[in-house]
Structure formats: structure tokens, C-alpha cells
Amino acid sequence: MQIRPLTPDDAAYRTLRLEALQKCPTAYVTDFQEDAPLRLEEFQARLEPSESSLTFGAFDGDQLVGLATLLRPARLRLNFRTTIVGMYVAESHRRSGLASRLVAACLDRARGLPGVEEVCLCVTVGNDAARRTYLACGFQPEYIEPRYFKYEGRFFDLEWLRFPLV
């Protein structure tokens, strides 16, 4: 298994991202219906590496099987923090340690960014497998944000977790 930053040439990102939104709809704030109509070029634009965004992919040979994006706010008062978003590991590769390796890649990247003091992420309350993974990676629970999003008539709470770098 290899983990590396994705580039706009990694067209498989679109397929795996849509799979994540379709198979795990309550794990994301973005709805499948929002991303499905987007053109390949729009997905490729998301993969342009920058100081504010970098997406990592986990590969089994040539097959993309996992994703995680590290975001850093542009606002000066917020850029001491980065956030991991869009975590997904294909069902065929779960419980293999890939999620932890993707988190580690994001943490390593965050450590290399000047001025970053912490990494945050959120998990939908009830997604116990993901929460256990994040806690095992060293994230600390911060707070629960109730009724953060609504899907199919039901509200979902998000739990925010934090990993201090300093």
C-alpha cells in the first residue's frame, strides 16, 4: 500500500469520492447529489496542491482505495489550525490500518506547515469505528455540535476532535 498526495492527473479521485458520498451518506456534510453532476475538471481542480489544501490517496497497486484531505484556512486568525476532511477507505480495505496511515500523512503535512499548532476533524456521532480510529491516532474529544446537518429528515450531531501539535 502506498500513500501519496493526489494530483489533478488522479482521475480515480472522482469515482472514489462519489462512492464515499453514496455508500456513507451520514459521514459527510456534502450530499451525493451535490457532487455527482460536477465535471471531471472540477474534481481535478480540487486536487491542485496548495498551502491551503492537499488531498492524500491510499493505493493498492494502481487502485485508489482511500482518501483524506488536509485544509488550512486562509484567514490569519484561523490558520494556526488545519482540518482533516473527506476521509474514506473503500469497504474492501477497511480494518487494514489505511485510515490511520491517511491520518498520519495529514498530520505529517500539518507539522511541516509554519505556524500550525493543531489539527482538527469531526466525526458523525454514532460512527464509532471512525471515532475509535481517530482516538487511537491521538485525537482528543473537544465538543459535540448538535443538529449539524440534516439527511433524509433526520438531524445528525458532529463531534469535533483535536490533535495538538505543540
pLDDT reported for residue 44 = 92
pLDDT at 134 over 90: yes
Span 104-129, average pLDDT: 97
Nearest CA to 16 among 28, 107, 115? 28
Residue ranges and CATH numbers for the domains of the chain are 2-121 (3.40.630.30)
pLDDT reported for residue 49 = 84
Return mean pLDDT, the chain. Answer: 96
pLDDT reported for residue 17 = 97
Q: Name the E strands within the chain.
A: 2-5, 53-60, 63-71, 81-89, 118-124, 140-151, 154-164
